[in-house]
């Protein structure tokens, strides 16, 4: 699915990042940056979630945000993380894009019971459905359907096959017999 972003024109002849102070209050961005940057090093999940809420991120119950995670400092209020989700180490979640002749914003919605692996980047305008899993080192540049497993650059669905319970029991039994005969 295509990302849901709103494009904005640049107010002058320079690149869009040059004009960032006309889009967002610079003091607000400094506050957001200080809080979000500090949270990168805080091991307490509860304290981090309280601080993230202070900058406008909608954080659900029992969310676990790993160390070094970087949320968008310009538009954190556009980010929602559902209950019981895990955001892995050094992940970046953006709600904006600065390009040369335009800039864009988009809500990022991470559902409940979602696992986002370490070193992943989630771009503006993306929804990650409930119970989805994103593997480490992925680039999420489109919506992820609920209960799917995705990974890669860009992230694509990865089929997951689980062994049948009977096959798993037979393998475990075989391993036990093998060990006991040694």
Active site residues: 96
How far, in Å, CA of 150 to CA of 144, rounded? Answer: 8
Tokens encoding 103: 């800039």
Q: Rounded to an integer, what is the distance from CA 104 to the centroid of its chain?
A: 18
How far, in Å, CA of 90 to CA of 78, rounded? Answer: 20
DSSP state string for 69-93: -EE-SS-GGGEEE-TT-EE-TT-EE
Phi, psi of 71, deg, nearest 5: -90, 160
Under 8 Å CB-to-CB from 3, ≥6 apart: which residues? 106, 123, 124, 125, 126, 141, 142, 143
Buried-state track 120-155, b at ≥16 Cβ within 10 A, e below 16: bbbbbbbbbbbbbbbbebbbbbbbbeeebebbeeeb
């Amino acid at each position: 699915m295509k990302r849901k972003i709103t494009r904005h024109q640049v107010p002058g002849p320079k690149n869009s990042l040059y004009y960032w102070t006309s889009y967002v209050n610079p003091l607000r961005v400094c506050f957001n940056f200080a809080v979000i940057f500090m949270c990168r090093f805080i091991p307490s999940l509860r304290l981090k979630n309280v601080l993230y809420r202070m900058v406008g991120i909608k954080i659900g119950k029992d969310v676990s945000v790993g160390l070094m995670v970087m949320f968008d400092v310009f538009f954190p209020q556009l980010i929602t993380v559902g209950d019981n989700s895990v955001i892995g180490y050094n992940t970046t979640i953006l709600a904006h894009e600065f390009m040369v002749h335009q800039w864009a914003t988009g809500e990022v919605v991470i559902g409940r019971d979602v696992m986002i692996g370490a070193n992943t980047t989630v771009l503006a305008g993306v929804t990650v459905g409930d119970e989805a899993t994103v593997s480490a080192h992925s680039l999420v540049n489109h919506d992820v359907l609920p209960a799917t497993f995705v990974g890669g650059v860009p992230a694509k669905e990865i089929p997951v096959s689980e062994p049948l319970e009977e096959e798993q029991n037979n393998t475990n039994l075989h391993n036990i017999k093998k060990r006991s005969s040694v």
